[in-house]
Amino acid sequence: MPTYPIITGIDVYEFWFEVKDMAPNPDSGSIVYTPGHNLKATHFALKVHTDQGITGDYQGYPLLDAMAIRLFAHRLIGKNALERERIYNDVKRAMRAFSRVGMGIVDIALWDIAGKYFNAPIWRLLGGHPKRLPAYASTYHGDETNGGLNSPEAYADFAEQCLEMGYPAYKIHGWENGLIRREIENIKTVAERVGGKMQLMLDPACAYETFADAVLVGHACDDARFFWYEDPFKDGGISQFAHRRLRQLIRTPLLQCEHHRGLEPHVDFALGDATDLVRGDPEYDGGITGVMKLAHACEGLGLDLEIHGPGPAKRHCMASIRNTNYYEMSLVHPKGGFYGPPVYRSDYQDGLDAISKDGCVPVPEGPGLGVEYDWDYIEKHAAGFVTYK
Ligand SMILES: [Mg+2]
């Protein structure tokens, strides 16, 4: 009789790291270039223990998800860690009143356990292959600071730098103060400099005040032949009606659903004709289990699923999905530090310099997530710790 790994406990760390020459903008809350100031950013790390000594390890940024584990940890202790489908559905129901926060990051840790148990990388368990993943440089939001991304020319210079490094695509997170003329100028300037040589995307991250602003900027994306246009205005990216209307008025493909959590709202949004490309994130959307369900739902509709943000779990998903295009290397800046902690002991790396000349990143080949975390660093920088048994 084979024995299965039974969950015996969960450790949740909150830890901090520094992001060089960056600071929050007091007006918008976004992170902007601030020479001489190192931002103290916070991530979480997770360790799911089993009775066989195998642990599921993961670190990431949705701190609220890590805090929410307290609401359902008692449902996990004593369960077979390999029964992800049952756990996915159980936690999904338990957290139905709380936007299903927390379930994604636990699922990722359970996949790490499964990979270690079967001595295979997660993509192998998913039937994927170790393909190289073409990456896009995904910028911080615009700065007003000298030397930062403070003008259309500065964005174009950085796009050119990324092109020379090998990036096949570049995504602008523009300014957050809604100066639409400057947004449009930015699109034109970057497209004149690198258009036709790399794919271009725009993500205002729901910054524009009005639907009309979203249409005006959408027309500029059309003229510049942008690859996609993402979450333009302050509905928060969730109005099917508004995005269906927007699709009728512009030609650039829309990429929506970053701000819906889970399979069903994504599928509803796509069936509502409200997006062209669908966003998915294992941290937000029910883990690797949830994202693979979503990828297959999109495949059934003939649509592509675009994975949000960097990290090992995202790479394993991309290596196991046909209908996906680019890996998001976010957030990057020509001078300021990358928004990610130095927590990998293995040769795994994210950041502006993490791509090879071919513009791609590899998929980890070790068991589970295939990365080794630096737990000394995490413990030394701990800002909080909770354990559930
Ligand atoms: Mg986005």
Residues 235 and 329 in one domain: yes
Residues 26 and 129 in one domain: no
Query: Rounded to the nearest whole angstrom, what is the distance from the C-alpha of residue 257 to the centroid of ligand 1?
Result: 9
Q: What is the rounded average pLDDT of the residues 296-320?
A: 98
Tally the domains of the chain.
2
Residues 217 and 338 in one domain: yes
Residues 46 and 149 in one domain: no
The per-residue pLDDT for range 156-184, each reduced to its tens digit, is 999 999 999 999 999 999 999 879 999 99
Residues 111 and 167 in one domain: no
Residues 141 and 65 in one domain: no
CATH of the domain at 209: 3.20.20.120
- Ion ligand 1: residues, CB within 5 A, are 203, 258
Residues 203 and 81 in one domain: no
Q: Is the pTM of this model over 0.75?
A: yes
CATH of the domain at 44: 3.30.390.10
Is the residue at 1 inside a domain? Answer: no
- pLDDT on residue 1: 64
Q: How far is it, in rounded angstroms, from Cα 188 to Cα 168? A: 18
Q: What is the rounded average pLDDT of the residues 139-153?
A: 94
142, pLDDT greater than 90: yes
Q: What is the extent of the structural domain holding 61? A: 7-119+375-388
Query: Rounded to the nearest whole angstrom, what is the distance from the C-alpha of residue 62 to the centroid of ligand 1?
Result: 14
Q: Minimal CA–CA distance to 108: which of 93, 95, 91?
A: 91
**251: how many CB neighbours lie within 10 A of its CB?**
13
Query: Rounded to the nearest whole angstrom, what is the distance from the C-alpha of residue 36 to the centroid of ligand 1?
Result: 28
Residues 74 and 203 in one domain: no
The per-residue pLDDT for range 209-226, each reduced to its tens digit, is 999 999 999 999 999 999
Query: Rounded to the nearest whole angstrom, what is the distance from the C-alpha of residue 200 to the centroid of ligand 1?
Result: 14
The single residue listed with the structure tokens 């205002």 is 204
Residues 197 and 343 in one domain: yes
Query: Rounded to the nearest whole angstrom, what is the distance from the C-alpha of residue 342 to the centroid of ligand 1?
Result: 23
What is the torsional sign of CA 207, 230, 173, 309?
positive
How far is C-alpha 222 from the geometric centre of its chain's CA atoms?
25
Is the residue at 234 inside a domain? Answer: yes
